[in-house]
């Protein structure tokens, strides 16, 4: 697989006619067979501890996996629709088994993160596809794991993938998931709750928007606005970014804040319904909503998408950024 990754590989025929057959038929078929063999052997190796074998035997393959950059190769092969399913299964299996080893490596691999964001966006636009749903959930969980480790935002900033990350996470957040159907047995991600899924998307988005700026250019620094949010949190956005986010995800953000308020209102009566929820002033939807409300460019769109009601609820808890936003709205329209 490592040898066959590029179009300039040593197996490529010189004849142009033969090259067409090679790239359209032979190469995908050989790659598929190699992926199947890799998956079969990895499964045996990773199942060794559960079968009573020495756990060291399972981890002994790590040097080989690193040497041949197997996770990165699998993500690169995911760009081929014919190989995507098998390649992604291997990738997620490796990340699940060796998360401490391979998750940090993703933050230095621009191609790997691009592949994840591309697949997230593509799966978000594939309505009704079971495989698309499953892939979107798994990628969301992987990005959520990177966020929890404090790695996603800095990596996106370092590799200059901010635009792609924001677009992919926003697309995925806006998908109305249907979680009624059951997935395959043994699914370790358990993203069957649409609220938990949306929260992961927003947590990752907050990580990207709050990442420290890496530049020494004065012109680049002046391009950004630092928007105050809850608990002295600051999100960095350009005016265009803030306006676009308020017009695309503003309505769903506002609805989530309203739902969050209703759940906390009924907490004493139904405590089990909010066990997975964060405190209201710590929730990512509140963080992003208040940051957008601090933007002069974003506030009008936010208010037209139900943001005024949501901001009123947050302001009632004494949140300064929400109170300031309401004050700005009242100056424009006292009604």
- Residue pLDDT, tens place only, 29-82: 999 999 999 999 998 887 765 555 555 656 678 888 888 889 989 998 888 888
Q: Is the dihedral of CA 325, 331, 332, 335 positive or negative?
A: positive
Cα end-to-end distance, the chain, whole Å: 66
1/73 Cα distance (integer angstroms): 8
- Residue pLDDT, tens place only, 227-255: 988 877 899 999 999 999 999 999 999 99
Domain ranges of the chain: 225-335
Closest to 322 (Cα-Cα) out of 335, 312, 307, 309: 312
DSSP string, 88-142: HHHHHHHHHHSHHHHHHHHTT-HHHHHHHHHHHHHHHT-TT-HHHHHHHHHHHHH
pTM (2 d.p.): 0.84
Closest to 141 (Cα-Cα) out of 199, 80, 71: 199
- Residue pLDDT, tens place only, 275-302: 444 456 678 999 999 999 999 999 999 9
Report pLDDT for 166. Answer: 97
- Residue pLDDT, tens place only, 132-177: 788 888 999 999 999 999 999 999 999 999 999 999 999 999 986 5
| Residue 14, number of CB atoms within 10 A of its CB | 6
Q: What is the mean pLDDT of residues 107-122?
A: 91
């Amino acid at each position: 697989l490592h040898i066959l990754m590029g179009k300039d590989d040593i197996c490529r025929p010189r004849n142009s006619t033969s090259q067409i057959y090679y790239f359209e038929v032979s190469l995908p078929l050989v790659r598929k067979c190699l992926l199947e063999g890799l998956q079969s052997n990895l499964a045996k190796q990773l199942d060794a501890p559960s079968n009573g074998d020495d756990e060291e035997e399972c981890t002994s393959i790590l040097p080989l996996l690193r040497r041949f950059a197997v996770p990165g190769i699998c993500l690169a092969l995911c760009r081929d629709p014919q190989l995507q399913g098998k390649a992604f299964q291997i990738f997620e299996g490796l990340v699940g088994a060796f998360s401490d080893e391979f998750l940090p490596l993703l933050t230095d691999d621009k191609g790997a993160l691009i592949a994840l964001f591309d697949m997230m966006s593509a799966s978000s636009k594939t309505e009704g596809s079971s495989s698309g749903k499953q892939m979107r959930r798994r990628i969301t969980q992987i990005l959520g794991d990177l966020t929890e480790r404090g790695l996603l935002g800095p990596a996106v900033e370092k590799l200059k993938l901010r635009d792609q990350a924001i677009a992919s996470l926003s697309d995925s957040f806006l998908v109305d998931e249907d979680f009624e159907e059951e997935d395959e047995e043994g699914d370790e991600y358990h993203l069957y709750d649409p609220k938990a899924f949306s929260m992961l998307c927003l947590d990752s988005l907050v990580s990207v928007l709050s990442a420290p700026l890496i530049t020494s250019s004065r012109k680049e620094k002046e391009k950004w606005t630092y928007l105050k949010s809850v608990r002295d949190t600051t999100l960095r956005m350009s005016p265009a970014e803030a306006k676009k986010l308020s017009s695309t995800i503003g309505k769903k953000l506002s609805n989530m804040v309203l739902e969050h308020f209703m759940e906390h209102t009924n907490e004493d009566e139904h405590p089990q319904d909010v066990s997975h929820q964060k405190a209201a002033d710590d929730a990512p939807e509140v963080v992003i909503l208040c940051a957008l409300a601090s933007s002069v460019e974003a506030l009008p769109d936010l208010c037209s998408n139900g943001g005024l009601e949501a901001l009123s609820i947050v302001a009632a808890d004494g949140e300064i950024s929400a109170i300031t936003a309401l004050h700005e709205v009242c100056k424009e329209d006292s009604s």
